[in-house]
Amino acid sequence: MKKKIHKLKGTGKNHYRLMGISSHENDYRLSWAINSNLGFNFRKADNLVLYSNDKTESLEFSVFQFIDNERALRMNLISNRCPDGFLIKEMRNIDFFLQVFGDATTSFITSISQNLKSIDLVLAVFEIPPKNQRYFSNLPPE
């Protein structure tokens, strides 16, 4: 019996703010530096696994997650690189993505960006506007 596949079609709107981070450090060192400097508590979460269309090959990207119950925010720090490829091929200059779910104000995002830039391990940080997020279907939704 042939397996039937259903695809959910979203509204096209992302319910998160997205930042790109350039850093030559490993994921665990970067998350430790962010925790130490920004007072967050990123912890290792399950890897993001992407499968090829024929399900024979997979790519795994590390994910670190922080949940801030006081601000009703959840953040994912996701690697854009794995040994076999990129999560978002069109953005090879980005090493990590920071997804911020919840009611993150512009001032909060600006504050995070400025604090991330002050970390020695971070080379560059920038917010990716929603209009430029057409490539980001591989990122986890809420």
**The pair of three-digit structure tokens given for residue 91, joined into one six-digit string:** 């953005």
Q: Over the stretch 75-120, which tens digit does the pLDDT of each residue have?
A: 999 999 999 889 988 889 999 999 999 888 889 999 999 999 999 9
Alpha-carbon distances of 126 from 53, 72, 93, 116, 122, rounded to whole Å: 32, 23, 12, 10, 11
Q: Determine the topology of domain 16-130 in CATH.
A: Double Stranded RNA Binding Domain (3.30.160)
Backbone angles phi, psi at 9, to 5 degrees: -105, 120
Name the band, by pLDDT with cuts 50, 70 and 90, for residue 67: very high
How far apart are alpha carbons 17 and 24 in whole angstroms?
23
Q: At 79, which amino acid appears?
A: S
End-to-end CA distance of the chain: 33
pLDDT of residue 133: 59
**Share above pLDDT 70 across residues of the chain, in percent, rounded to a whole number:** 80
Name the band, by pLDDT with cuts 50, 70 and 90, for residue 10: very low
Q: Is the model's pLDDT at 15 over the cut of 60?
A: yes
